Structure 1
């Protein structure tokens, strides 16, 4: 194990011990999982790609390599310790420290009110977070994405999700990464807006 890999693992484990519910796993995402998630995002596009819960940067690195214009990538991380590491290792990227429950406010303060977001990639452990926070995050993501936008979420709960999807979303696809430890499931969703909400927003 290289020195940098060991340092990343130590930092991640330290955050897990301090706040296990907001980290979700003792082990960072593997390269296999990171690359699989990154492949869900098109190489070229004109919208921002937002990464939630960037952690030690495994998925950040894969997204950088996937995107023809890495300046599209914006990372959001709640842990001040991990934000410091991310800014050191990704000095050219926009790394925002903050809570995804206030995602819209965080992004508008950095990118401006006329930002266009095409993809939101989430590593947040939604199954271990408090339900009100999960609801707030889901609502923020749904409001920020356009009708053809994609919300990519991975989970260590690899069971069959059926047709279930977060409120306000429609499932586009599900895949599993068995090479990760533990194995992970990657879900892709798109916003599904009710006719009532569409009329209200148009009024």
Structure 2
């Protein structure tokens, strides 16, 4: 039986992920990449299959990136914003014309999306750890998410710590929260859905 082609495309970055966690624990939310169970939960929460434009904040070594590409429509686009140069390099190896890997900060979503000729995202997915970053930066990112998200867009953040829920209320309202226990560590999945005015 031949292996699943989508699995062959996945970056093999477990060692890199662990090394970067040990060097930059405040930038990375976990010591190991996301499980397939967490990937499926996040993809469903963000309704990736119907999104034409997706933004990923903090793709790490690209496991969630590839899972979203596998679920996306053929004409959709995925903008992946990563601040860590080694992770950015790893994600850039994914061979998919729908993917736009960008080295930069999640505080600049609109400027980055504009630079790549993208419209307002239908979904924004974040794995960056809001619990370890400066509160002002976390708030700046969440305000940017609220401002740039399409009128019927979804924002999904998967986090070990619940801090993003309280930070996000000011800009996005009260989130739906689910737990994914089949991940190390278990993760909370926060979902906000915008409604048209």
- Return closer, same or farther for 1:59/1:111 CA change in 2, 3 Å cut-off: same
Is residue 2:180 matched to residue 1:177? yes
Aligned to 1:188: 191
Task: Give the alignment's Cα RMSD to 1 decimal.
Answer: 2.6
Matched, 1:109 2:115: yes
Query: Number of residues paired by the alignment?
Result: 186
8 Å contact from structure 1 (residues 158, 176) kept in 2: no
Supply the distance in 1 between the matched residues of 2:128 and 2:75 (Cα, whole angstroms).
Answer: 22
Q: 1:26 to 1:154 in 2, by over 3 A?
A: same
Give the 5 Å matches for 1:1-203.
7-42=12-47, 43-45=49-51, 47-69=52-74, 71-92=76-97, 93-112=99-118, 115-157=119-161, 165-191=168-194
User: Structure 1 segments of 4 or more deviating over 4 A?
Assistant: 4-7
SS in 2 for 1:111: coil
TM-aligned CA deviation for residue 170 of structure 1: 2.2
Give the TM-score taking structure 1 as reference length: 0.81
Higher RCO by CA contacts (8 Å cutoff, separation 6 or greater): 2
Q: Which has the larger radius of gyration?
A: 1
- Structure 1 residues not aligned, in runs of 5+: 199-203
* Unmatched 5+ stretches in structure 2: 1-8
Q: Kindly provide the CA deviation profile for residues 124-159 of structure 1, in whole angstroms up to 9, marking residues without a partner as x.
A: 100101111101101110110133211101111369
Q: Secondary structure at the match of 1:175?
A: strand
Q: Distance in 2 between matches of 1:17 and 1:154?
A: 20
Give the TM-score, by structure 2 length: 0.84
- Shift in CA distance, 70/36, structure 1 to aligned 2, threshold 3 Å: farther
Contact 2:28 2:128 (8 Å CA) reproduced: yes
